[in-house]
Amino acid sequence: MSNLLIRNVRPNGGAPTDILIRDGKIEAIGQNLQAEGVTVEDGLGHVAIPGLVEAHTHLDKSVWGMPWHENAKVATLRERIDFEREKRLEIGIDPHRQSMRQAIQLAANGASHIRSHVDIDTTHGLALMEGIIETRAALDGVIDIEIVAFPQSGLVTRRGTVELLDQALSNGAEVLGGIDPCGIDRDPKGHLDAVFGLAEKHGKPIDIHLHEAGELGAFSMEMMFERIRALGMHGKVAISHAFALGAPDYLRVAGLIEQIAELDVRIVTTGSPSSTVPSIMRLKDAGVKVAAGCDGIRDTWGPWGQPDMMDRARILGMKNGLRRDVDLEHALHVCSTGGADVMDIAGYGLDVGCNADFTLLVGETLAHAVVEVAPRPLVVKRGRVIARNGVAEVAIP
Amino acid sequence: MSNLLIRNVRPNGGAPTDILIRDGKIEAIGQNLQAEGVTVEDGLGHVAIPGLVEAHTHLDKSVWGMPWHENAKVATLRERIDFEREKRLEIGIDPHRQSMRQAIQLAANGASHIRSHVDIDTTHGLALMEGIIETRAALDGVIDIEIVAFPQSGLVTRRGTVELLDQALSNGAEVLGGIDPCGIDRDPKGHLDAVFGLAEKHGKPIDIHLHEAGELGAFSMEMMFERIRALGMHGKVAISHAFALGAPDYLRVAGLIEQIAELDVRIVTTGSPSSTVPSIMRLKDAGVKVAAGCDGIRDTWGPWGQPDMMDRARILGMKNGLRRDVDLEHALHVCSTGGADVMDIAGYGLDVGCNADFTLLVGETLAHAVVEVAPRPLVVKRGRVIARNGVAEVAIP
């Protein structure tokens, strides 16, 4: 089942070649490969890239595939958080069903890996995460899902949340989340001490939401840098959003990026069109590992987004003002290999010996494939064809 | 041919009804309409809105449908302008063929009207415009095209351009363009005196590209306001892009918007993700007429964009940070009725007596239709079905 020969594809837009897969891994890449008793697929000359990586989403939040959710609120951040927490089950956002829908569509659109933040709070305990764990098991061999235990409603200010996060890290979450230490918990020291303490206890990495802009976000980053240095957590911390890096003060941002590079802090960006976002080209020049994500897709927070990392590559490229082919290629890199770098995904790549996780793209070149809106002709996960022309070969609930 | 009965559509997302069209105009809207000898279409309960309006594009520039155009330049603005002017024919950007491709796809995606800037310069004279005029004639009854004579390469600094614009306004251009009076011509007084003088001579409106940001753009706007007052050109001037209105100084921008409202200056926005753009909600509150456009689609300037005003509504909505349904409806308004307001399109609307120019959209509500990525089920122009499910019923060259 996981043996496959794909003829006539163009890895990263290069010359046409064949890819032979055995036991879910790439065994050979070359012209006119021969193999007995192996299913053969025609790649029709399409571009091939390693699997897209959705490095920041919320599989437990989407109403995708449900009746339209009307948003009539002019709400504060806190009101949005409270509304979602208290109404999500009433609205019918079943975490297993909804995460299945979103994850399968991400896979059909060429993603091989997802990092999903999942809400952990005193209203739901670990129940939401259990729905995602069920999805992870159901989609074994279709798409890999990594779970971040995420204190959306706050951590210090809601007693019992630290204990729940502790349990989540023992029961299936690979990463510990956090959120706006100043903005949400109003206690940056308390929030960050709790997050770094738990991560150290479990020996697990951190991925913290940091929407705080300007000097406030810079302050929270510096608080994180101090703890990374003190605990030796180089390469173990990611900052999602990092809107403070989009601030206009070039030198202030340079000082932050210098420390991010030194501490191997990873940055995860959504390229949010309405926010100040980090420059992916500037972070590239500084040698920082950068991933991208679609964030929430059509949820109680907002209506935007597609479960499609090529759609995100376009949003990211437009927001970053990219025009040159080589820069468009970097936007695609951020949405694929950059995600693997940030998440430390083993066996990732379109090379002999790597896991056979890849997608075909429509386009003459990589840059063309970024801007061309078209379904993925073929998606392969561990050597198995899991989608054709944007349609999953897996049932969607 | 232009008689048609469409059953079961939901105008602006309201209750299901029928629309009867006679001689290209809406004769009746109501339930269970009866008509003899009229073609009947089933609207399948889809949302109906008046035709989308593409109010800012460049039909003469796109490489859409041509081989991929590689962009390897790190170029200044002037270098991009010069490259395009001198290489466009060599690259094969035939203005008639390329404008046909773009305009037909816009129509298939539900647009009923286009305002296109077309380059007028001393290298090409009126030749590029003649290609668009040929397209306009070929697409009579498919999509309406309004031409802006546009001095892309500069006006004061290239002798002979004023005379060519004069000819263009006598030979088919309905509107006079202009561009960055400081930034391109380095002579704001000379540029604006020439533009306003020509417009006054021909009694035609103005639509000026103003990319100038911050105080520079504010200065150029004020130079325009002075001339509008002096010449009594209230309601006759549009500013495209207007990036200066996205400046952070709230009160400075308020002063500009106040004059824009007073002089009935129209604003045309692209919602450019990488620029400071005008807030469509703030302009709505001030009673300013606002339209939207996709700008250049995949040209020598840059790779982005789709010939699709619903794609633009999404870009606009995300850039403006909209979340509520009522605000998404306004983004759609800007891409449809707002364009008709800015361009003073007669007979526009989804009401009895209006021209039968409308499109169906997929979605439960207007807001849902904005975020749902789906082909338009049916597009009607002057009572004729011109596209089904995103595919034009017109040959594309």
**SS3 readout for chain B:** CCCEEEEEEEECCCCCEEEEEECCEEEEEECCCCCCCCEEEECCCCEEEECEEEEEECCCCCCCCCCCCCCCCCCCHHHHHHHHHHHHHHHCCCHHHHHHHHHHHHHHCCEEEEEEEEECECCCECHHHHHHHHHHHHCCCCCEEEEEEECCCCCCCCCCHHHHHHHHHHCCCCEEEEECCCCCCCCHHHHHHHHHHHHHHHCCCEEEECCCCHHHHHHHHHHHHHHHHHHCCCCCEEEECCHHHHCCCHHHHHHHHHHHHHCCCEEEECCCCCCCCCCHHHHHHCCCCEEECCCCCCCCCCCCCCCCHHHHHHHHHHHCCCCCHHHHHHHHHHCCHHHHHHHCCCCCCCCCCCECCEEEECCCCHHHHHHCCCCCCEEEECCEEEEECCEECCCCC
Same-domain check for residues B258 and B313:
yes
Same-domain check for residues B214 and B356:
no
CA distance A368 to chain B (A): 7
- B297 in Cβ contact with B305 (< 8 Å): yes
Q: Is A298 on the interface with B (CB under 8 A)?
A: yes
- B250 in Cβ contact with B282 (< 8 Å): no
Residue B396: its pLDDT value, please? 85
Q: Residue B324's Cα: distance from chain center in Å?
A: 25
Q: Where are the beta strands (DSSP E) in A226-369?
A: 237-240, 266-269, 290-292, 358-361
Q: Is A73 on the interface with B (CB under 8 A)?
A: yes
Residue B175: its pLDDT value, please? 98
Tokens representing A341 are 């770098």
Q: Is residue A395 part of a domain?
A: no
Q: Is B324 on the interface with A (CB under 8 A)?
A: yes
Q: Is residue A270 part of a domain?
A: yes
Cβ contact B71–A325 (<8 Å): yes
Rounded distance between C-alpha atoms, residue A104 and residue A97, angstroms: 11
Q: Which pLDDT tens digits describe chain B residue by residue (397 residues)?
A: 579 999 999 999 999 999 999 999 999 999 999 988 899 999 999 999 999 999 999 999 999 999 999 999 877 888 999 999 999 999 999 999 999 999 999 999 999 999 999 999 999 999 999 999 999 999 999 999 999 999 999 999 899 999 999 999 999 999 999 999 999 999 999 999 999 999 999 999 999 999 999 999 999 999 999 999 999 999 999 999 999 999 999 999 999 999 999 999 999 999 999 999 999 999 999 999 999 999 999 999 999 999 999 999 999 999 999 999 999 999 999 999 999 999 999 999 999 999 999 999 999 999 999 999 999 999 999 999 999 999 999 888 8
The DSSP annotation for A364-397 comes to SSHHHHHH-----SEEEETTEEEEETTEESS---
Closest residue of chain A to B322, computed from CA coordinates: A302
Rounded distance between C-alpha atoms, residue B226 and residue B178, angstroms: 16
Number of structural domains, chain B?
2
Same-domain check for residues B264 and B378:
no
Same-domain check for residues A309 and A246:
yes
Closest residue of chain A to B369, computed from CA coordinates: A68
Residue A2: its pLDDT value, please? 77
Residues of A in contact with B272 (CB under 8 A): 318
CA distance B70 to chain A (A): 6
Same-domain check for residues A333 and A322:
yes
- In this structure, the strands spanning A144-150 and A111-119 are parallel
Q: Taking Cα atoms as reference points, which of B131, B138, B263 lies closest to residue B196? A: B263
Residues of A in contact with B70 (CB under 8 A): 325, 365, 367
Selecting from A273, A323, A368 the residue whose C-beta is nearest the C-beta of B319 gives: A273
Residue B302: its pLDDT value, please? 94
Residue A397: its pLDDT value, please? 85
Cβ contact B67–A303 (<8 Å): no
Residues of B in contact with A74 (CB under 8 A): 324
Q: Is A211 on the interface with B (CB under 8 A)?
A: no
DSSP, res A125: B
Same-domain check for residues A332 and A377:
no
Residue A329: its pLDDT value, please? 98
Same-domain check for residues A293 and A223:
yes
Q: Is B76 on the interface with A (CB under 8 A)?
A: no
Selecting from A302, A306, A319 the residue whose C-beta is nearest the C-beta of B273 gives: A319
CATH number at B188 reads: 3.20.20.140
| ipTM for the whole complex | 0.95
Cβ contact A314–B326 (<8 Å): no
Output phi, psi for B25, to 5 deg.
-120, 155
For B86, other C-beta atoms within 10 Å of its C-beta total 10
Same-domain check for residues A161 and A34:
no
Q: Is B45 on the interface with A (CB under 8 A)?
A: no
Q: Is residue A397 part of a domain?
A: no
CA distance B329 to chain A (A): 12
Q: Taking Cα atoms as reference points, which of A153, A172, A165 lies closest to residue A197? A: A165
For residue A16, the enclosing domain spans 4-50+349-389
| Run of H or E including A332 | helix A325-334
Same-domain check for residues B301 and B356:
no
Residues of B in contact with A67 (CB under 8 A): 364
Q: Residue B386's Cα: distance from chain center in Å?
A: 20
Q: Is residue B395 part of a domain?
A: no
CATH number at B32 reads: 2.30.40.10
Residue B199: its pLDDT value, please? 98
Cβ contact A323–B303 (<8 Å): yes
Q: Is A374 on the interface with B (CB under 8 A)?
A: no
10-residue mean pLDDT series, chain A (397 residues): 90 98 97 92 98 98 97 86 95 98 98 98 98 98 98 94 98 97 96 98 98 97 98 98 97 98 98 97 98 97 96 98 97 98 98 98 98 98 97 91
CA distance B286 to chain A (A): 20
Rounded distance between C-alpha atoms, residue A138 and residue A154, angstroms: 30
Selecting from A67, A323, A365 the residue whose C-beta is nearest the C-beta of B364 gives: A67
Size of interface A-B (CB pairs under 8 A): 88
Residue B76: its pLDDT value, please? 85
- In this structure, the strands spanning B25-30 and B39-42 are unpaired
Residue B395: its pLDDT value, please? 87
Residues of B in contact with A363 (CB under 8 A): 68
Same-domain check for residues A301 and A237:
yes
Same-domain check for residues B337 and B355:
no
Same-domain check for residues A333 and A365:
no
* Torsion sign, CA atoms A326, A330, A333, A338: positive
